Amino acid sequence: MEAIACPKCTRPVPYQALACPSCGYQQTTSRSITEVEEEELFEAYIGPRWGDYYQRRFRDFVVASAEGGDMNNREARWHPSWNWAALIGGFFWFGYRKIYKPGFGFFGGGLVASFLLPGIGALLFFIAMAVAANYFVFRRATQVVGRVASAGLPHEQALMIVAARGGVQTLWVWLGVVLSLLLVIPLVIIALAVAAAY
C-alpha cells in the first residue's frame, strides 16, 4: 500500500505517515512514535534557541479530536497568535524560518495590498503576517516531522534530518539587512540633498 487519501483534504498521504504533507492533518496509523520522540523531533525542527517559544505556540494549535486525545489522532486548527519577528522582518522572516511558499505569497500579497490601498495596505499585510506566522511555522514543522517519522528511520537519524530541514537560514537576515540598507541609503542621500538645497 503506497498512499491513502487524507480525510481532511483528500490528497494522497504516504502509507504510515503521521501527518498529511499537504494540510498537516494528523493521520491515524499502525506505526506510531512515542510522544517523547515526537516532541524531540519538533524541538529538532525548531532549533534550540526558540524551542520554548514555539512549543508553547504549537500546543495552542493542536486540538484533541472527538476520539479522545490520542497523539496520532488529533487535528490542527488555526487561531490568531502574534509574532513580533514576522512583523519586523516581513518577507525575510519567512525565508529565515525556511517557510518559502507562504513567504512569497505574503510578498506578492503585500505588493498588491500596497497598490490597492496606498499607505495602509502594506501595514495591514504586515499585521496579517504577524498574526499568521506562528501557524505557518507549526504547519511546516508538522509536515517535516510527519514525513521523516513515517520513513521508519532510526530516531537519531530522523532527528538529524528534521534539524537540517528546520531551524533557521541566517542568510535571509543578511539579505534583508543589505536590501534595507540599499533602500534606506539612497533615501537618506536624497533627503540630505533636498535639505541642503533649502
3-state SS string over the chain?
CCEEECCCCCCEEECCCCECCCCCCECCCCCCCCHHHHHHHHHHHHCCCCHHHHHHHHHHHEEECCCCCCCCCEEECCCCCCCHHHHHHCHHHHHHCCCHHHHHHHHHHHHHHHHHCCCCHHHHHHHHHHHHHHHHHHHHHHHHHHHHHHCCCCHHHHHHHHHHHCCCCCHHHHHHHHHHHHHHHHHHHHHHHHHHHC
User: Could you tell me the pTM of the whole model?
Assistant: 0.73
pLDDT digits (tens, 9 = 90+) for 109-168: 888 988 899 888 888 888 999 999 999 999 999 999 988 888 878 888 999 999 999 999
| Number of CB atoms found within 10 A of residue 21's CB | 18
Q: Cell numbers at residue 31, please?
A: 506505526
Q: Cell numbers at residue 11, please?
A: 490528497
List Cβ neighbours of 32 (8 Å cut-off, separation of 6 or more): 18, 71, 72
Exposed (0-12), middle (13-18) or buried (19+): which is 149, by Cβ within 10 Å?
Answer: buried
Which band of pLDDT confidence, cut at 50, 70 and 90, is reported for residue 15? low
Q: For residues 173-194, give the mean pLDDT.
A: 89
The pLDDT, as a whole number, for residue 75 is 66
C-alpha closest to that of 160 among 71, 43, 16: 43
The pLDDT, as a whole number, for residue 28 is 55
Determine which of 25-34, 55-64, 151-160 has the lowest per-residue pLDDT on average.
25-34
List Cβ neighbours of 99 (8 Å cut-off, separation of 6 or more): 136, 137, 140
Q: Cell numbers at residue 51, please?
A: 524551542
